[in-house]
Amino acid sequence: MNRLKAILRVVAMLGAGLLFAACEKPPIDTVQRGMRGTGMVQVYNPRIVEGEQPKNVVPVAIPAAPREGQKASEVFQNVKVLGDVSVAEFTRLMVAMSAWVAPEKGCAYCHKLENMADDSMYTKVVARRMIQMTQHINADWKAHVAETGVTCYTCHRGQPVPAEVWFQPAPQKHATRMAGSKMQQNTPDAAVAYASLPYDAFSRYLQKGQQIRVNAVSALPTAPHGSLADTEGTYGLMMHMSDALGVNCTYCHNSRAFAPWSESTPQRQTAWHGIRMARDLNNDYMTPLTGTFPAHRRGPTGDVAKLNCATCHQGAYKPLYGSSMLKDYLALSAPGAQAALPPVAAAEAPAPAAEPAAAAKP
Protein backbone atom coordinates (compact mmCIF):
# COMPACT_ATOMS: atom_id res chain seq x y z
CA MET A 1 0.00 0.00 0.00
CA ASN A 2 2.77 2.44 0.94
CA ARG A 3 4.56 1.66 -2.28
CA LEU A 4 1.38 2.32 -4.26
CA LYS A 5 0.94 5.66 -2.52
CA ALA A 6 4.50 6.59 -3.32
CA ILE A 7 3.98 5.73 -6.98
CA LEU A 8 0.78 7.79 -7.07
CA ARG A 9 2.60 10.76 -5.54
CA VAL A 10 5.28 10.55 -8.21
CA VAL A 11 2.66 10.33 -10.95
CA ALA A 12 0.80 13.31 -9.46
CA MET A 13 4.00 15.34 -9.31
CA LEU A 14 4.86 14.50 -12.90
CA GLY A 15 1.33 15.39 -13.97
CA ALA A 16 1.55 18.72 -12.18
CA GLY A 17 4.88 19.39 -13.80
CA LEU A 18 3.42 18.76 -17.25
CA LEU A 19 0.35 20.86 -16.44
CA PHE A 20 2.38 23.90 -15.42
CA ALA A 21 5.33 23.42 -17.77
CA ALA A 22 4.15 26.27 -20.00
CA CYS A 23 3.54 28.63 -17.07
CA GLU A 24 6.09 31.10 -15.80
CA LYS A 25 6.86 31.31 -12.14
CA PRO A 26 6.28 34.65 -10.42
CA PRO A 27 7.10 37.43 -10.04
CA ILE A 28 5.88 38.74 -13.42
CA ASP A 29 5.92 42.47 -14.21
CA THR A 30 3.12 44.25 -16.05
CA VAL A 31 2.92 47.65 -17.69
CA GLN A 32 -0.47 49.17 -18.55
CA ARG A 33 -0.38 50.66 -22.06
CA GLY A 34 -4.04 51.52 -22.62
CA MET A 35 -7.16 52.65 -20.85
CA ARG A 36 -8.32 50.54 -17.94
CA GLY A 37 -10.67 47.80 -19.03
CA THR A 38 -9.10 47.29 -22.45
CA GLY A 39 -6.65 44.65 -21.22
CA MET A 40 -3.78 46.45 -22.97
CA VAL A 41 -1.11 45.22 -20.59
CA GLN A 42 2.45 44.27 -21.47
CA VAL A 43 3.62 41.28 -19.46
CA TYR A 44 7.32 40.82 -18.72
CA ASN A 45 9.31 38.09 -17.07
CA PRO A 46 12.09 40.02 -15.30
CA ARG A 47 14.43 37.05 -15.59
CA ILE A 48 14.02 37.00 -19.38
CA VAL A 49 14.50 40.78 -19.59
CA GLU A 50 17.66 40.50 -17.53
CA GLY A 51 18.97 37.75 -19.77
CA GLU A 52 18.41 39.86 -22.89
CA GLN A 53 20.38 42.85 -21.62
CA PRO A 54 23.97 41.66 -22.16
CA LYS A 55 23.48 41.23 -25.90
CA ASN A 56 21.95 44.71 -26.18
CA VAL A 57 24.92 46.61 -24.74
CA VAL A 58 26.27 49.14 -27.24
CA PRO A 59 30.05 49.00 -27.73
CA VAL A 60 32.05 52.16 -27.04
CA ALA A 61 32.56 54.14 -30.23
CA ILE A 62 36.05 54.60 -31.65
CA PRO A 63 37.17 58.25 -31.20
CA ALA A 64 36.20 60.49 -34.10
CA ALA A 65 38.64 60.86 -36.99
CA PRO A 66 39.37 63.95 -39.12
CA ARG A 67 36.93 64.37 -42.00
CA GLU A 68 39.28 66.52 -44.05
CA GLY A 69 42.22 65.33 -46.12
CA GLN A 70 42.52 62.90 -48.99
CA LYS A 71 39.53 60.71 -49.79
CA ALA A 72 39.69 56.94 -49.46
CA SER A 73 39.17 56.43 -53.21
CA GLU A 74 42.24 58.61 -53.90
CA VAL A 75 44.55 56.53 -51.73
CA PHE A 76 43.20 52.98 -51.74
CA GLN A 77 42.45 50.82 -54.77
CA ASN A 78 39.04 49.39 -55.68
CA VAL A 79 37.02 51.40 -53.14
CA LYS A 80 33.51 51.31 -54.64
CA VAL A 81 31.59 52.35 -51.51
CA LEU A 82 32.64 54.96 -48.92
CA GLY A 83 35.26 56.32 -51.31
CA ASP A 84 34.10 59.87 -50.57
CA VAL A 85 35.11 59.80 -46.90
CA SER A 86 38.53 60.78 -45.63
CA VAL A 87 41.27 58.18 -45.32
CA ALA A 88 41.20 58.55 -41.54
CA GLU A 89 37.44 58.07 -41.30
CA PHE A 90 37.50 55.19 -43.80
CA THR A 91 40.16 53.40 -41.73
CA ARG A 92 38.22 54.08 -38.52
CA LEU A 93 35.06 52.61 -40.02
CA MET A 94 36.87 49.51 -41.31
CA VAL A 95 38.28 48.88 -37.82
CA ALA A 96 34.80 49.27 -36.33
CA MET A 97 33.25 46.90 -38.88
CA SER A 98 35.89 44.27 -38.12
CA ALA A 99 34.93 44.43 -34.44
CA TRP A 100 31.21 44.40 -35.21
CA VAL A 101 31.26 41.49 -37.65
CA ALA A 102 34.43 39.41 -37.30
CA PRO A 103 36.41 40.28 -34.16
CA GLU A 104 38.38 37.02 -34.27
CA LYS A 105 39.60 37.17 -37.87
CA GLY A 106 39.59 40.94 -38.24
CA CYS A 107 40.48 42.31 -41.68
CA ALA A 108 41.28 38.81 -42.95
CA TYR A 109 37.59 37.86 -42.80
CA CYS A 110 36.90 39.95 -45.90
CA HIS A 111 40.33 40.78 -47.34
CA LYS A 112 43.32 38.93 -48.69
CA LEU A 113 45.97 40.57 -46.55
CA GLU A 114 48.59 40.43 -49.32
CA ASN A 115 46.26 42.41 -51.62
CA MET A 116 43.47 44.28 -49.83
CA ALA A 117 42.01 45.45 -53.16
CA ASP A 118 41.32 41.89 -54.31
CA ASP A 119 37.61 41.02 -54.65
CA SER A 120 37.99 37.24 -54.84
CA MET A 121 36.69 36.62 -51.30
CA TYR A 122 32.90 36.41 -51.27
CA THR A 123 32.76 38.01 -47.85
CA LYS A 124 34.18 41.25 -49.23
CA VAL A 125 31.61 41.37 -52.04
CA VAL A 126 28.82 40.74 -49.54
CA ALA A 127 30.17 43.31 -47.06
CA ARG A 128 30.25 45.99 -49.75
CA ARG A 129 26.61 45.31 -50.57
CA MET A 130 25.69 45.27 -46.89
CA ILE A 131 27.18 48.75 -46.44
CA GLN A 132 24.94 49.92 -49.27
CA MET A 133 21.98 48.22 -47.63
CA THR A 134 22.73 49.94 -44.32
CA GLN A 135 22.86 53.31 -46.04
CA HIS A 136 19.58 52.54 -47.80
CA ILE A 137 17.86 51.67 -44.52
CA ASN A 138 19.04 54.84 -42.81
CA ALA A 139 18.23 57.11 -45.74
CA ASP A 140 14.99 55.60 -47.09
CA TRP A 141 13.33 53.74 -44.21
CA LYS A 142 13.15 56.45 -41.55
CA ALA A 143 9.47 55.55 -41.17
CA HIS A 144 10.74 52.46 -39.36
CA VAL A 145 14.21 53.25 -38.00
CA ALA A 146 13.63 57.00 -37.46
CA GLU A 147 16.78 58.97 -36.61
CA THR A 148 18.15 56.12 -34.47
CA GLY A 149 19.20 54.24 -37.58
CA VAL A 150 21.20 51.04 -37.81
CA THR A 151 24.81 49.97 -38.24
CA CYS A 152 26.38 46.59 -39.02
CA TYR A 153 26.42 45.91 -35.27
CA THR A 154 22.64 46.17 -35.02
CA CYS A 155 22.33 42.76 -36.65
CA HIS A 156 25.74 41.12 -36.28
CA ARG A 157 26.60 41.81 -32.62
CA GLY A 158 30.15 40.54 -33.07
CA GLN A 159 29.24 37.52 -35.21
CA PRO A 160 29.99 36.96 -38.92
CA VAL A 161 26.42 35.70 -39.38
CA PRO A 162 23.66 37.41 -37.38
CA ALA A 163 22.14 35.18 -34.73
CA GLU A 164 18.69 35.57 -36.26
CA VAL A 165 18.27 34.86 -39.98
CA TRP A 166 15.96 32.57 -41.92
CA PHE A 167 16.01 30.27 -44.93
CA GLN A 168 13.26 28.75 -47.02
CA PRO A 169 12.43 25.50 -45.16
CA ALA A 170 12.80 22.20 -46.96
CA PRO A 171 9.54 20.61 -48.20
CA GLN A 172 8.06 18.27 -45.63
CA LYS A 173 7.76 14.57 -46.41
CA HIS A 174 4.81 12.46 -45.27
CA ALA A 175 5.11 8.83 -44.25
CA THR A 176 1.88 7.79 -45.99
CA ARG A 177 -0.45 9.24 -48.55
CA MET A 178 -3.24 9.10 -45.94
CA ALA A 179 -1.43 11.76 -43.93
CA GLY A 180 -2.31 14.26 -46.63
CA SER A 181 -0.96 17.78 -46.64
CA LYS A 182 -0.01 19.19 -43.27
CA MET A 183 -0.47 22.72 -44.66
CA GLN A 184 2.96 23.46 -43.16
CA GLN A 185 1.45 22.95 -39.72
CA ASN A 186 1.92 20.82 -36.62
CA THR A 187 5.68 21.04 -36.95
CA PRO A 188 6.80 23.10 -33.95
CA ASP A 189 9.26 25.72 -35.06
CA ALA A 190 10.98 28.59 -33.30
CA ALA A 191 9.94 30.87 -36.17
CA VAL A 192 6.34 30.84 -34.89
CA ALA A 193 7.17 30.48 -31.19
CA TYR A 194 6.53 26.71 -31.41
CA ALA A 195 2.81 27.24 -32.03
CA SER A 196 0.72 24.93 -34.21
CA LEU A 197 0.76 27.39 -37.09
CA PRO A 198 2.25 27.38 -40.60
CA TYR A 199 5.98 27.25 -39.98
CA ASP A 200 6.91 29.35 -43.01
CA ALA A 201 5.36 32.75 -42.44
CA PHE A 202 8.46 34.55 -43.71
CA SER A 203 8.46 33.52 -47.38
CA ARG A 204 4.89 34.61 -47.96
CA TYR A 205 5.03 37.92 -46.07
CA LEU A 206 8.68 39.00 -45.86
CA GLN A 207 9.60 38.02 -49.39
CA LYS A 208 6.60 37.37 -51.65
CA GLY A 209 4.43 40.16 -50.29
CA GLN A 210 1.20 38.24 -49.78
CA GLN A 211 -1.62 40.08 -48.08
CA ILE A 212 -1.59 39.92 -44.28
CA ARG A 213 -5.21 39.29 -43.41
CA VAL A 214 -7.31 37.88 -40.59
CA ASN A 215 -10.72 39.36 -41.34
CA ALA A 216 -12.22 38.53 -44.72
CA VAL A 217 -12.93 41.44 -47.05
CA SER A 218 -16.06 39.76 -48.41
CA ALA A 219 -18.93 37.71 -47.03
CA LEU A 220 -18.52 35.13 -49.78
CA PRO A 221 -16.47 31.95 -49.22
CA THR A 222 -14.48 32.78 -52.35
CA ALA A 223 -13.03 35.92 -50.77
CA PRO A 224 -9.45 36.39 -51.99
CA HIS A 225 -8.14 37.17 -48.51
CA GLY A 226 -9.26 36.31 -45.03
CA SER A 227 -9.49 32.54 -45.41
CA LEU A 228 -8.57 30.22 -42.55
CA ALA A 229 -5.19 29.59 -44.19
CA ASP A 230 -4.54 33.33 -44.46
CA THR A 231 -5.53 33.81 -40.84
CA GLU A 232 -3.21 31.08 -39.60
CA GLY A 233 -0.33 32.36 -41.71
CA THR A 234 -0.87 35.86 -40.34
CA TYR A 235 -0.86 34.57 -36.78
CA GLY A 236 2.42 32.78 -37.52
CA LEU A 237 3.99 36.11 -38.49
CA MET A 238 2.47 37.85 -35.47
CA MET A 239 3.85 35.18 -33.13
CA HIS A 240 7.28 35.78 -34.61
CA MET A 241 7.00 39.55 -34.22
CA SER A 242 5.86 39.23 -30.61
CA ASP A 243 8.73 36.90 -29.78
CA ALA A 244 11.29 38.97 -31.71
CA LEU A 245 10.41 42.18 -29.86
CA GLY A 246 9.76 40.60 -26.47
CA VAL A 247 6.23 42.04 -26.34
CA ASN A 248 2.65 40.79 -26.52
CA CYS A 249 -0.10 41.67 -28.98
CA THR A 250 -1.18 44.86 -27.24
CA TYR A 251 2.13 46.52 -28.05
CA CYS A 252 0.56 47.32 -31.43
CA HIS A 253 -3.12 46.39 -31.12
CA ASN A 254 -6.03 47.50 -28.97
CA SER A 255 -7.31 44.36 -27.26
CA ARG A 256 -10.89 45.63 -27.58
CA ALA A 257 -10.67 45.91 -31.36
CA PHE A 258 -7.61 44.41 -33.03
CA ALA A 259 -8.40 45.37 -36.62
CA PRO A 260 -9.16 49.14 -36.70
CA TRP A 261 -6.10 51.26 -37.28
CA SER A 262 -7.75 54.20 -35.58
CA GLU A 263 -7.75 52.31 -32.28
CA SER A 264 -4.25 50.83 -32.56
CA THR A 265 -1.09 52.18 -30.98
CA PRO A 266 1.50 54.17 -33.01
CA GLN A 267 3.77 51.12 -32.89
CA ARG A 268 1.46 49.30 -35.30
CA GLN A 269 2.25 51.81 -38.04
CA THR A 270 5.97 51.46 -37.32
CA ALA A 271 5.60 47.68 -37.60
CA TRP A 272 3.72 48.08 -40.91
CA HIS A 273 6.72 49.89 -42.36
CA GLY A 274 9.07 47.33 -40.79
CA ILE A 275 7.39 44.45 -42.62
CA ARG A 276 7.77 46.26 -45.92
CA MET A 277 11.33 47.22 -45.12
CA ALA A 278 12.23 43.57 -44.47
CA ARG A 279 10.57 42.59 -47.76
CA ASP A 280 12.50 45.29 -49.63
CA LEU A 281 15.85 44.25 -48.14
CA ASN A 282 15.28 40.54 -48.71
CA ASN A 283 14.30 41.00 -52.36
CA ASP A 284 16.67 43.78 -53.42
CA TYR A 285 19.75 43.09 -51.33
CA MET A 286 19.85 39.56 -49.91
CA THR A 287 18.29 37.37 -52.62
CA PRO A 288 20.44 38.84 -55.46
CA LEU A 289 23.52 37.71 -53.49
CA THR A 290 22.49 34.05 -53.59
CA GLY A 291 25.04 33.15 -56.24
CA THR A 292 27.79 34.97 -54.34
CA PHE A 293 27.51 32.81 -51.24
CA PRO A 294 29.14 29.35 -51.22
CA ALA A 295 26.93 26.30 -50.85
CA HIS A 296 27.70 25.82 -47.15
CA ARG A 297 26.30 29.28 -46.41
CA ARG A 298 22.95 28.60 -48.08
CA GLY A 299 19.81 26.97 -46.75
CA PRO A 300 18.36 23.49 -47.42
CA THR A 301 16.76 24.66 -50.68
CA GLY A 302 19.82 26.61 -51.82
CA ASP A 303 18.59 30.08 -50.88
CA VAL A 304 20.58 32.78 -49.12
CA ALA A 305 20.04 33.81 -45.49
CA LYS A 306 17.41 36.52 -45.17
CA LEU A 307 16.31 38.86 -42.41
CA ASN A 308 13.21 39.14 -40.27
CA CYS A 309 12.20 41.21 -37.26
CA ALA A 310 14.44 39.26 -34.88
CA THR A 311 17.54 39.96 -36.97
CA CYS A 312 17.70 43.50 -35.62
CA HIS A 313 15.52 43.36 -32.51
CA GLN A 314 16.83 40.13 -30.92
CA GLY A 315 14.26 40.14 -28.13
CA ALA A 316 14.20 43.91 -27.48
CA TYR A 317 11.23 46.15 -28.29
CA LYS A 318 13.77 48.46 -29.95
CA PRO A 319 17.12 47.17 -31.24
CA LEU A 320 19.78 47.86 -28.61
CA TYR A 321 16.97 49.37 -26.51
CA GLY A 322 16.89 52.41 -28.78
CA SER A 323 20.54 53.42 -28.39
CA SER A 324 21.86 55.02 -31.58
CA MET A 325 25.26 54.06 -32.94
CA LEU A 326 24.66 55.82 -36.23
CA LYS A 327 25.43 59.26 -34.77
CA ASP A 328 29.05 58.13 -34.31
CA TYR A 329 29.34 56.59 -37.81
CA LEU A 330 27.50 59.02 -40.06
CA ALA A 331 29.12 57.65 -43.21
CA LEU A 332 26.58 54.83 -42.91
CA SER A 333 23.60 57.20 -42.81
CA ALA A 334 23.40 57.73 -46.59
CA PRO A 335 25.66 57.71 -49.64
CA GLY A 336 27.85 60.81 -49.47
CA ALA A 337 26.60 61.83 -46.03
CA GLN A 338 30.04 62.02 -44.42
CA ALA A 339 31.52 64.22 -47.15
CA ALA A 340 28.82 66.86 -46.60
CA LEU A 341 29.64 67.34 -42.90
CA PRO A 342 31.89 70.08 -41.50
CA PRO A 343 35.37 69.17 -40.18
CA VAL A 344 35.60 67.42 -36.82
CA ALA A 345 36.34 69.82 -33.96
CA ALA A 346 39.49 69.11 -31.96
CA ALA A 347 37.55 68.29 -28.80
CA GLU A 348 34.88 66.26 -30.54
CA ALA A 349 34.81 62.62 -29.50
CA PRO A 350 31.95 60.17 -28.95
CA ALA A 351 30.95 59.63 -25.33
CA PRO A 352 31.04 56.07 -23.98
CA ALA A 353 27.76 54.25 -24.51
CA ALA A 354 25.56 53.80 -21.46
CA GLU A 355 24.53 50.43 -20.14
CA PRO A 356 20.88 49.51 -20.84
CA ALA A 357 18.41 50.28 -18.09
CA ALA A 358 17.79 47.60 -15.52
CA ALA A 359 14.26 47.13 -16.80
CA ALA A 360 14.24 48.24 -20.40
CA LYS A 361 10.55 48.15 -21.23
CA PRO A 362 8.44 50.22 -23.59
Asked whether 109 and 97 are in contact (CB, 8 A), the reply is no
pTM for this model (two decimals): 0.84
Flag whether 23 is marked binding.
Answer: no
Read off the pLDDT of residues 165-211 as tens digits, 9 standing for 90 and up.
999 988 766 544 445 556 566 677 777 777 778 888 899 999 998 88
Mean per-residue pLDDT, 9-15: 63
For the chain, give the mean pLDDT.
84
Q: Return the closest-CA partner of residue 98 out of 88, 89, 109.
A: 109
Which range (64-73, 129-138, 329-338) has the least confidence? 329-338
Residues 234-246: tens digit of each pLDDT: 888 999 999 999 9
Q: How confident is the model at residue 73 (pLDDT cuts 50, 70, 90)?
A: very high
152 is in an annotated binding site: yes
247-282: per-residue pLDDT in tens?
A: 999 999 988 888 889 989 999 999 999 999 999 999
Q: Is 252 annotated as a binding residue?
A: yes
pLDDT of residue 321: 94
Which CATH architecture does the domain made up of 58-161+322-342 adopt?
A: Orthogonal Bundle (1.10)
Asked if residue 155 belongs to a known ligand binding site, the reply is yes
296 is in an annotated binding site: no
The answer for residues whose C-beta is within 8 angstroms of residue 239's C-beta and 6 or more apart is 192, 193, 195, 197
Identify the pLDDT of residue 52: 82
Residue 174 known to bind ligand: no
Q: Is the pLDDT confidence value at 306 over 90?
A: yes
Nearest of 81, 332, 256 to residue 265 by alpha carbon: 256
130 among annotated binding-site residues: yes
DSSP-derived secondary structure for 144-187? HHTTT---HHHHHTT-SS-SS-B-PPPPP--SSGGG---TT-SS
For range 221-230, the mean pLDDT: 66
Tally of CA atoms within 13 A in the half-sphere of 231 that contains its CB = 9
Q: What is the mean pLDDT of residues 49-64?
A: 88
* Residue 81 dihedral angles phi and psi, to the nearest 5°: -130, 145
277 is in an annotated binding site: no
pLDDT of residue 324: 95
Asked whether residue 107 is marked as a ligand-binding residue, the answer is yes
Fold designation for 164-169+183-313? Photosynthetic Reaction Center, subunit C; domain 2 (1.10.468)
Inter-residue contact 331 to 93 (CB < 8 Å): yes
Predicted local distance difference test score (pLDDT) of residue 247: 93
Q: Where in the chain is the domain with CATH 1.10.468.10?
A: 58-161+322-342, 164-169+183-313
**Beta partners for residue 274, in sequence order:** none
